[in-house]
Amino acid sequence: MLVTFAALVPTALAAWLLWQVVSSPGDGEPPKVLPAPGQSSTSAPGSTDDAKKPTPSASTSSASPSPAKSASEKPTGSGSSKPAAGGSGPLKGKVVVIDPGHNPGNFRHATEINRTVNVGNGSKECDTTGTATNAGYTEAQFTLDVARRMKTLLEQQGATVRLTQNGDRAWGPCVDERARIGNAAKADAVVSVHADGSAAGNRGFHVILPASVHAGDADTRAIVASSRDLGERVAGKFLRYTSEPPSNYVGGGTALDTRSDLGGLNLSTVPKVFIECGNMRDSHDAGRLTSGSWRQKAAQGISEGIVSFLRG
């Protein structure tokens, strides 16, 4: 019986992925993305997150989407983007925080972002520069663009939406402050938007879920289950809207990865996940990540995952 079951697992997973790709975005609720039986999900060497540290090239720095502020300017402690009042719609009364990973100005503020902050079970750099495509399109530009598109889509559904930064601060916020912004807003859902910087040939997206952490200032035990629900729904919708495949180098084909080393997750007291939308160092993925029309699909997929989670 065990041999028969093992033989059926790859076939069932392949059939599920095919169904997701060919189904249209409006065909009801997608099945959740579930780990393969008996498999634990761990990070592969080279995967990146709030510890990304490549320094953008000169062509990268000149492509910053917003004017740089003075090096003496200090970031505010309350987060940058004030939430717009929620309108009418199915998400009226719901609060969503979108966390665009990194900041286009981080590379100008090495001292500030390299200082360490407490993440509960250890310490990490305040923030990093993030990664970039080989042509110099930065992760910080990508995440901010997708986050702004998501904000528009979710506000149209009636949600109150806040960004942890909206290109309106010189650097940061630090990873611990990013978590505090979602906590202070009493957010019903938080998604941190990223793109990976792994080796060429590594393709696909994955969603990072918080592990159960209870150390120092971190206690994720109350949000592990709800964050997994959020992450599974985001993964399913993202796949459906973008046709980006689940990562072939993290998560064993499940599109899910559980981690205990990310301050943005460890210090959250509300449901929160990260999404790595693709690998900026792979030419195929980079072609998608640099496309405005594809970024709109990415924003729609993530937003619809949030909507699905909030509506239950």
Per DSSP, 277 falls in state: E
Q: Which are the catalytic amino acids?
A: 276
Inter-helix orientation angle 292-311/139-156, to 10°: 50
Burial of residue 11 (CB within 10 Å: 0-12, 13-18, 19+) is exposed
Reading the block at residue 150, the tokens are 């998501």
Rounded Cα distance between 182 and 271, Å, is 9
Residue type, 287: G
Instruction: Answer whether 187's CB lies under 8 Å from 97's CB.
Output: yes
- Bridge partners (DSSP) listed for residue 160: 95
Rounded Cα distance between 140 and 283, Å, is 18
Reading the block at residue 242, the tokens are 């973008």
What is the end-to-end Cα distance of the chain in Å, rounded? 36
Rounded Cα distance between 190 and 95, Å, is 9
Peptide bond preceding 173 in cis form (omega within 30 of 0): yes
Rounded Cα distance between 311 and 173, Å, is 30
Residue 196 backbone dihedrals phi, psi, to 5 degrees: -85, 170
Rounded Cα distance between 255 and 259, Å, is 13
Which residues fall within 8 angstroms of residue 162, CB to CB, at 6 or more apart? 79, 81, 82, 83, 95, 96, 97, 98, 181, 185, 187
